[in-house]
Amino acid sequence: MLSRREPRPWTVGLGAGFKRCTRASLLVALLGPALAMAAPDERLDAVSQLLLERGLIPADAATPSAPTGLAQKFRDGASDMVITAMNFLGVPYRLGGSSGAGGFDCSGFTRHMFEMSLGLVLPRRVDDQASAAGLVEVQRDELRPGDLVFFNTLKRTFSHVGIYIGDGKFIHSPSTGSKVRVDDMRFAYWNQRFTGARRAEAPNEYQPPAATAPATGR
């Protein structure tokens, strides 16, 4: 079960210092002051430009008119989720971790991103996230940025989870010794282990989650 909370302000790293940002100002913190005055379509282009500059989407996917472009997909309401998650690239993996300061495991990362960007509290375990009430199953060819994507990496159907960002890619906290990064679901390893996707819907119907043991995913 899921509960709904007011989205919290979060900390965005800016150089050597930190600045407290609300969701409305996060794009400005990440992309620069010029974005604050941009029209809606220009903001979408700037989001795509951010991913393009980081090498996370191909050049032909950075415009609203491209069939696989992220600009159109961000109009579906997932830009906050993806931008928030991107801000944690490079945070180290930590088993049982659920914060940017202490590190994340895979389910701790997705739980933190959903609470920060949507105000929704996911269950702690990977398999519980896959079956949580309030999330609906999504087919692979219908994926949108912000969807949860699941993989079988430990001989369990739902043993790893990340967040889809578009163009076949997802962001996640992979395993011990690694850091939060973006991977391509079309690569053989992930393609063969993909087991499903989920999307948050009907937030007004969420209920507080039942207490669970602090078990973690990979």
> Which sequence positions are flagged as catalytic?
106, 160, 172
DSSP one-letter string for 139-150? -GGG--TT-EEE
Return d(Cα 108, Cα 104) in angstroms, integer: 5
Return the DSSP state at 180.
Answer: S
Residues in contact with 117: Cβ distance below 8 Å, sequence separation at least 6, in sequence order = 7, 23, 80, 81, 84, 85, 146
Name the pairing type of β-strands 194-200 and 181-184.
unpaired
Residue with tokens 């393009």: 52
3-state secondary structure of 7: coil
Helix axes 23-31, 79-86, angle to 10 degrees: 50
CA 105 to chain centre: 13
Secondary structure class of 192 (helix, strand, coil): helix
The Cβ of residue 148 has, within 10 Å, a number of other Cβ atoms equal to 27
Is the distance from CB of 53 to CB of 61 less than 8 angstroms?
A: no
